[in-house]
Structure formats: C-alpha cells, structure tokens
Amino acid sequence: MQRSILLSAAAHYLMPLMLVFSIFLLIRGHNEVGGGFAGGLVAASGLMLYGIAISPAALRKLLPIQPHLIVGIGLLSALLSGAIPMLMGKPFLTGQWLKTPLPVIGKVGTPLLFDTGVYLVVIGVVVWILLTLAEE
C-alpha cells in the first residue's frame, strides 16, 4: 500500500498541535465550553491521524502505554474524583477545590480530576477501537 508523502509530513506537524489543543480544551472545559470529552476526541483524532498517515504499528510505538491501560487509568481517575469528597464526609462526586487558584489554569479541584478521567477514557477507547480495526 502506497502512503501519501503529504499526509505523512502533515501528520508529523498536526498531531502535536492537536494534542496541545486537546489539553487546552480539557483545562478550559471545567469553567467554559470544552472539557474531557471534547479534548479527548481531539487528542484521539490527532493520534489516529498519525496512525493512518504513518502506520498503526508506529502509533503503538509512540504511545507510552497500551490503550486499554489508558482507559483503566481514566476510570480510576474519575472514581478517585468521586471518592475524595467521601473522605471528607461529603457525598460522592461533590466538588472540592484547592483554596488558591493556579496561574493560567484557575480553580483546580475534583471536577478537573473527573474531566481528566473522561479525557483519558475517550482517548483510550477511540484509539483502542480504531487500532483494532486498522490492524484487522
């Protein structure tokens, strides 16, 4: 199968930009439009662009861990965001925030941790499904 030189060259530049934009959507999302789901879809799209342009095997080598482990870490993060308030005697998934806002990011708390879990689950599931289909 012949690969497109233009798509390959574009993927090397677009994938990192899409990952950075996805993190922007993630961080911005707990206060405005965006969030873990939108950011995760953008990140997965960037990764799959790389996988389609180069090869699924190259994408697997690029990923630090397997997609099913990314899903597990995301689920654990979302669960942890609900368990933290319970440790403080509050109901499950009650929002808890740090007292001091961080520069650039703003208020940081359990909603951002939950969004991060959703972000990782979306990336893991989409990449896992598409890599499985690409390798068949």
Backbone phi, psi, residue 97, to 5°? -125, 155
Average pLDDT over residues 105-110: 85
State residue 1's pLDDT score: 58
- Determine what percent of the chain is predicted with pLDDT higher than 90: 76
The token pair at 97 is 């925030």
> pLDDT confidence of 4, banded at 50, 70, 90?
confident
Whole-angstrom distance, CA of residue 97 vs CA of residue 34: 19
Average pLDDT over residues 4-33: 90
Backbone phi, psi, residue 106, to 5°? 95, -145
State residue 136's pLDDT score: 72
pLDDT in tens, 41-62: 999 999 999 999 999 999 999 9
Domain positions in the chain: 5-135
